[in-house]
Amino acid sequence: MSDRGGFEALDACVHCGFCLQACPTFLATGDEADSPRGRIELMRALESGELAPDDPAVVVHLDRCLGCRGCEPVCPSGVGYGRGIEAARALLATKRRPAPLARAALWALTTPGPSRIAYRLARMLRATGLPGAVAGWGRLRFAMGMLAATRPVRNAEWGVRSPRVTADSARRTPHSALTTVLLFRGCVMDGLFSHVHDATMRTLEVNGYAVREVPGQVCCGALHAHAGLREEARRLARANVAAFGDGDGDEPVVVNSAGCGAMLKEYGHLVDEARFAARVRDVTELLAARGPRPGAPVDVQVAYDPPCHLLHAQRIADEPYRVLAAIPVLRVVSLPDAAQCCGSAGLFTLLEPAMSRAVLAPKLASLRTASPQVVATGNPGCLMQLGAGLAASGLRAAARHPVELLDESYRAAGYYA
Amino acid sequence: MITAGLVEALAGIVGARHVRTAPAERVTYARDGLPTHRRVPAVVVLPGSREEVIAVVRLLAAHGVPVVPRGAGTGLSGGALADGSAVLLVLTRLNRILGVDPKNRIALVEPGVVNARLSVAAAPHGLYYAPDPSSQTACTLGGNVAENAGGPHCLKYGVTAQHVLALEVVLGDGRVVELGSPGGEPWGPDLVGLFVGSEGNFGIATRIAVRLLPLPRAVRTLLADFTSLRTAGEAVSAVIASGIVPAALEMMDQSCVRAVEDSVYAAGYPRDAAAVLLVELDGGSEAAVTADAETIQSVLREHGARSTRTAADARERERLWQGRKKAFGAMGRLSRDLVVQDAVVPRSTLPDVLETIARIAATYQLTVSNVFHAGDGNLHPNISFDGRVPGLKARVDAASTEIMEACIAVGGTITGEHGVGLDKLRYMPLIFDAESLTAMRAVRRVWDPEERVNPGKVVPVHACREWSGIGTRNAERGTRNPIAPSSSTFPIPTSALAP
Ligand SMILES: Cc1cc2nc3c(=O)[nH]c(=O)nc-3n(C[C@H](O)[C@H](O)[C@H](O)COP(=O)(O)OP(=O)(O)OC[C@H]3O[C@@H](n4cnc5c(N)ncnc54)[C@H](O)[C@@H]3O)c2cc1C
Ligand code: SF4
Ligand code: SF4
């Protein structure tokens, strides 16, 4: 970690502008101050002291950054935008308290005690079916749509047929030697998407991995880091390293949330734990490394929408397609501009609703044209944002994690019999 | 004068959200793609329609306030910068493709449409927009028109001027004129030709009708590498002399190749080569293009290519091109700051000029990388440096000037495609005498009598007429491109531009 706290990652910017069209907020407003290049200009001025961290215009335009890092993989000069913006946000945080809504959300979603209650209440509300019924565009109705999108869905519900194959082809795992992997549970994933964790464990086992639970793990700290609360993020990071690091401590850590995975892979920079970071794998990486094993046919049309923190931050592009390709008959339809963010970006959808919806709009327009039955994406925020957006705009499609689809296919194949 | 009342009136036209007055916001517009120039505009306005552009320009004219148009700000001559006395008119929101007419192969676009997006929109009709500046994934067609942008494939297909059919232009006083005709049949003087390349000095283009071309049926892309810069330069002339016109003929030197290979756009160029050439051939039939490719390959080998290779498929071709097109950005890896020059020399002088540039770089102890449109003799020496080192910037400026003088000495000129803008004002007197500069200014004043649109660019005003030093010497040597002084009653037709 350098003494410039991450700002040095911006030095390489030569103002070429190649990142402009990759930036969802620039596309939404056309304003240089909402572009990566413009924000880099602001961040450099922040570092040099030319602009103050409490300058309202600086705050507005840096707050409007999704942190999607769509600007990174297109940058020929190798600018580390993500590290720069986190440094800048930490600097802004020295001059202000995070928005009350952000504080409240962090408290309710990531602190062990309160979050358990919050998630239980949320699941109860979800079970009433009310959130799905009222989902819409207003702030509250959109939030309801997001909650509704966390509900486990079965193929049958959206008219997909997956013929059950005869039970004797069922073999739980063809691999004799199991590789042990440690499951990272996270906060939102654990509270609202435990069915994705179940699917993750089942599909990994079919592919020769023994999934072990790790006690003592906590939230990854991504939401804190994005909010500029670096110290809290570091505290969480150290707790996770301690939890996962015992024993020989070199088993892969499997993550099914792109946002968490990206954060865990950043622990090298954040707390100097490069060895831990190197162990982190997205679930699709592990599955793709084994094929994965083909399942039974599922007759469904799927659009894959890559989470920014998978595609841009972790540079994982092909593996999710390989997972979907293991499902016979399933058809993948392509989305134009799929690499663009959906506007979820952690707490962004709650804190910057106007920009978030503006970024979501073109995504929904291309989904309307492609009209898939399922939108597959491997991140809780994206699942909720897309689910709520689909519901609000009356599109009949479900947002689901790719491993859920593989799980259905394996179940139909009788692998779990 | 820019008053609070004026700012309010601007907000009344475009909406308060689209008027930027905070210092932090204005600072983000202080540079373009050549970050060594920096000017902070007084106000930034982002209109959302041509009607708003017209209303804004009229309002500013009534207040006598200068206006500077800006597209994506990828220009490489400081052209899109406005100082504290002017309003910056940002056209990125005017980004609609108004229509693609596949029968007549015409597209009508707003000026903020990004170059590459037009080709994407035309692709379903089997068409594309040919001029392909390396910045095409970022720059706007309005900026292309203003700079008469070129690109790798302009060797065969011509630069922007050859592809613009008609324009709607808002003049400095807010009047709207239409130039040319989408049918492409010119009548009267070629005003479209005059406007294209005017660097925002003649008015603001609000609608652009361009020609689309059918996508070539067959394409071959060759990569050749050389162990010396001189041989590569000589091979360029040999390729042209073969009589085959490549679609593109680009050159990169070792330093550039290594920067690209270190970047996400790594294309598999050999890192140990002194230079590589990228040659593309295209045409109507596979057989013809294959034959051409074979001929060119043997020409390259005969002229010292260490090895040549052909892209196996569309994917590899794309990779070879992406490496070339992102090269400028990739050179950002070499050092904190980067300036790029743009000069044209007679193609046959390339080997000598490249050696001269290397010598200048050595004298000033600077890293100079070359990536350029070799087929046109359009050089782009890039100088990498760290602007924080005291005195270094002065050395870079001195080396730049010396490079430019060397190019002029062999019969070259000071810009191929990046324009004069602010950056090359200082070189204008090196190639134009006072009379020519005065004439240019007179032409500009026909369009913009008050010099209110993008003031202070292109023609160094101090050098007109009263300035005589180098100008006279050039006049004795025979000045290039003299422009006859024009009368001040230039006819501007207002014929209809049918959408
Ligand atoms: C990496 C990189 C590679 C490049 N490669 C090439 C190349 O291969 N070939 C090439 O020719 N150039 C190249 N350029 C330069 C630049 O991209 C072009 O000059 C481009 O045309 C500028 O477009 P822009 O939208 O960014 O214009 P800006 O930079 O915003 O403006 C450029 C000029 O156009 C004027 N202008 C903008 N819009 C209008 C309008 N609607 N009406 C009137 N005037 C207007 C501005 O006032 C300014 O003077 C490159 C630049 C970069 C950064
Ligand atoms: S692409 Fe990279 S170097 Fe170019 S402007 Fe964007 S961040 Fe800067
Ligand atoms: S992180 Fe995303 S929103 Fe932020 S500047 Fe980069 S591309 Fe734009």
Determine, for residues B332 and A56 on separate chains, whether the beta-carbon distance falls below 8 Å: no
Q: What's the fold here for domain A140-159+293-413?
A: Rossmann fold (3.40.50)
- The pLDDT assigned to A359 comes to 96
Instruction: Flag whether residue B202 sits within 8 Å of chain A, measured between CB atoms.
Output: no
Q: Whose CA is nearest to atom 52 of ligand 1?
A: B135
Domain A7-92 homologous superfamily, CATH: Alpha-helical ferredoxin (1.10.1060.10)
Q: Residues A370-388: pLDDT tens digits?
A: 999 999 999 999 999 999 9
CB A384 within 8 A of CB A377: no
Residue B80 has pLDDT above 90, yes or no: yes
Question: B288: exposed, middle or buried (C-beta count within 10 Å: 0-12, 13-18, 19+)?
Answer: middle
pTM for this one?
0.91
What's the pLDDT score for residue A208?
A: 93
How far is the CA of A260 from the CAs of A230, B220, B482, in angstroms?
15, 44, 64
**Token couple for B305:** 């290519």
Distance CA A74, CA B124 (A): 25
What burial class does residue B175 get, using C-beta atoms within 10 Å of its C-beta: 0-12 exposed, 13-18 middle, 19+ buried? middle
List phi, psi (to 5°) of B308.
-135, 150
Q: How far is CA A128 from CA A141, A227, B181, in A?
A: 15, 32, 64
Structure tokens at A179: 């590789």
Residue among A30, A57, A77 minimizing CB distance to B333: A77
Confidence band for A1, pLDDT divided at 50, 70 and 90: very low
Domain B97-215 in CATH 3.40.50.970? The answer is: no
Q: CA–CA separation, A5 vs B326, rounded Å?
A: 28
Averaged pLDDT for residues B381-398? 92
Task: Produce one character per residue of A183-208: b if its CB has 16 or more CB atoms within 10 Å, e if not.
Answer: bbbbbbbbbbbebbbebbbbbbbbbb
Distance from CA of B135 to the nearest CA of A (A): 7
B4-90 under CATH 3.30.43.10, yes or no? yes
Which of B74, B342, B378 best tests ligand 1's pocket when mutated (most atoms within 8 Å of CB)? B74
Task: Choose between B458 and A311: higher pLDDT.
Answer: A311
C-alpha–C-alpha distance, residues B348 and B94, integer Å: 43
Whether the pLDDT of residue B78 is over 70: the answer is yes
Residue A398 has pLDDT above 90, yes or no: yes
Question: From CA B246, how far away is CA B279, in angstroms rounded?
Answer: 7
CA distance B74 to chain A (A): 6
**In the predicted structure, residue B477 carries a pLDDT above the cut 50:** no
A69 lines ligand 3 (CB under 6 A): yes
Cis peptide before B346 (omega within 30 of 0): no
Task: Name the nearest CA neighbour of A257 among A219, A283, A230.
Answer: A283
> Is A16 at the interface with chain B, CB within 8 A?
yes
| Nearest partner of A339 among A71, A77, A59, judged by Cα | A71
Asked if A17 lies within 8 A of B74 by C-beta distance, the reply is yes
Distance B131 CA to ligand 1 centre (A): 13
Distance, CA of B310 to CA of B366 (rounded, Å): 34
Q: Could you tell me if A317 lies within 8 Å of chain B, comparing CB atoms? A: no
User: Can you give the three-state secondary structure of chain B, one letter per residue?
Assistant: CCCHHHHHHHHHHHCHHHEECCHHHHHCCCCCCCCCCCCCCCEEECCCCHHHHHHHHHHHHHHCCCEEEECCCCCCCCCCCCCCCCEEEECCCCCCEEEEECCCCEEEECCCCEHHHHHHHHHHHCEECCCCCCCCCCCEHHHHHHHCCCCCCHHHHCCHHHCEEEEEEECCCCCEEEEECCCCCCCCCCHHHHHCCCCCCCCEEEEEEEECEECCCEEEEEEEEECCHHHHHHHHHHHHHCCCCCCEEEEEEHHHHHHHHCCCCCCCCCCCCCEEEEEEEEECCHHHHHHHHHHHHHHHHHCCCCEEEECCCHHHHHHHHHHHHCHHHHHHHCCCEEEECCEECCHHHHHHHHHHHHHHHHHHCCEEEEEEEHHHCEECEEEEECCCCCCHHHHHHHHHHHHHHHHHHCCCECCCCCCCCCCCHHHHHHHCCHHHHHHHHHHHHHHCCCCCECCCCCCCHHHCCCCCHHHHHHHHHCCCCCCCCCCCCCCCCECCCCC
Of A13, A32, A76, the CB nearest to B264: A76
Please compute, for residue B145, the number of CA atoms within 13 A of its CA located in the half-sphere on the CB side.
37
A77 interface with B at CB cutoff 8 Å: yes
pLDDT bracket for residue A167 (50, 70, 90) = very low
Residues sharing a CB contact under 8 Å with residue B452, sequence separation 6 or more, in sequence order = B60, B61, B64, B65, B66, B67, B172, B173
> Do A30 and B35 count as a contact with CB atoms less than 8 A apart?
no
- Measured by CA distance, the residue closest to atom 7 of ligand 3 is A23
How much is the pLDDT for A97?
A: 82
Ligand lying closest to the C-alpha of residue B134: 1
A51 in reach of chain B (CB within 8 A): yes
CATH of domain B218-329: 3.30.70.2190
User: What digits encode the pLDDT tens for the residues A9-50?
Assistant: 999 999 999 999 999 999 999 999 999 999 999 999 999 999
- The answer to whether the beta carbons of residues A394 and A312 sit under 8 Å apart is no
Alpha-carbon B434 to chain mean position: 25
Residue A340 beta carbon below 6 angstroms from any ligand 3 atom: no
What is the DSSP pairing of strand A301-304 with strand A331-333? parallel
What confidence tier does A88 reach under pLDDT thresholds 50, 70, 90?
very high
What pLDDT is attached to residue B410?
Answer: 93
Name the closest ligand to CA B89: 1
**Looking at per-residue confidence, does A367 or A227 come out higher?**
A367
pLDDT tens for each residue of A99-115: 888 889 999 888 888 99
pLDDT tens digits, A270-293: 998 899 999 999 999 999 999 999
| Confidence at A170, pLDDT banded by 50, 70, 90 | very low
For B334-425, the fitting CATH number among 3.90.1150.10, 3.40.50.970, 3.30.70.2740, 3.30.1540.20 is 3.30.70.2740
Distance between first and last Cα of chain A = 50
Task: Tell me which ligand sits closest to the C-alpha of residue A18.
Answer: 2
Average pLDDT over residues B223-238: 95
Question: Would you say A383 and A399 are in contact if contact means Cβ atoms under 8 Å apart?
Answer: yes
**Chain B residues inside the 8 Å CB shell of A74:** 264
Q: Residue B256 pLDDT more than 90? A: yes
Give the count of alpha carbons within 13 A of A180, CB side only. 9
Distance from the alpha carbon of residue A38 to the mean position of ligand 2, in angstroms: 10
End-to-end CA distance of chain B: 37
The larger pLDDT score, comparing residue A59 to residue B460, is at: A59
Contact B202, B319 (CB under 8 A): no
Tell me the pairing of strands B343-344 and B378-379: antiparallel
Position B53 pLDDT exceeds 70: yes
> Which tokens go with B397?
């400026």
The tens digit of pLDDT for each residue in B86-116 reads 999 999 999 999 999 999 999 999 999 999 9
Parse chain B into domains and list their residue ranges.
4-90, 97-215, 218-329, 334-425, 434-477
d(CA A303, CA A370): 8
| Ligand 3 center from residue B50 Cα (angstroms) | 29
CA distance A398 to A376: 8
Which single residue is written with the structure tokens 């590459």?
B116
Ligand nearest to the CA of A63: 3
Mean pLDDT across chain B: 90
Q: Are B62 and B448 in contact (CB under 8 A)?
A: no
Report the mean per-residue pLDDT for chain A: 91
Evaluate whether B97-215 and B218-329 have a shared fold: no
- For B9-38, letters b (16+ CB in 10 Å) and e give bbeebbeeebbbbbebbbbbbbbbbbbbbe
Is the minimum distance from the CB of B133 to ligand 1 under 6 angstroms? yes
Q: Does B265 touch chain A (CB under 8 A)?
A: yes
Which pLDDT value is given to residue B312? 94
Report how far apart, in Å, the C-alpha atoms of B425 and of each of A175, B381, B421, B459 are: 72, 18, 7, 6
Residue-level length of chain A: 417
Q: What percent of chain B has pLDDT over 90?
A: 86
- B177 pairs with which residues across the strands? B169
Of B28, B328, B338, the CB nearest to A38: B28
- Could you tell me the residue ranges of all domains in chain A? 7-92, 140-159+293-413, 168-288
- Chain-centroid distance of CA A120 in Å reads 22
| CA–CA distance, B494 with B473 (Å, rounded to integer) | 42
Going by C-alpha positions, the residue among A97, A22, A99, A88 that lies closest to residue A61 is A88
Query: A52 and chain B: CB distance < 8 Å anywhere?
Result: no
**Which pLDDT value is given to residue A362?**
95
Q: Is A9 on the interface with B (CB under 8 A)?
A: no
Ligand 3 center to A346 CA (angstroms)? 13
Residue A76 contacts B, CB cutoff 8 Å: yes
pLDDT over threshold 90, residue B482: no
ipTM score of complex: 0.90
Looking at residue A403, its pLDDT comes to: 97
Instruction: Please count the CA atoms within 13 angstroms of the CA of B209 that sit on its side-chain side.
Output: 21
In angstroms, what separates the C-alpha of A60 from chain B's closest C-alpha? 10
Burial A298-323 (b: 16+ CB within 10 A, else e): bbbebbbbbbbbbbbbbebeebbebb
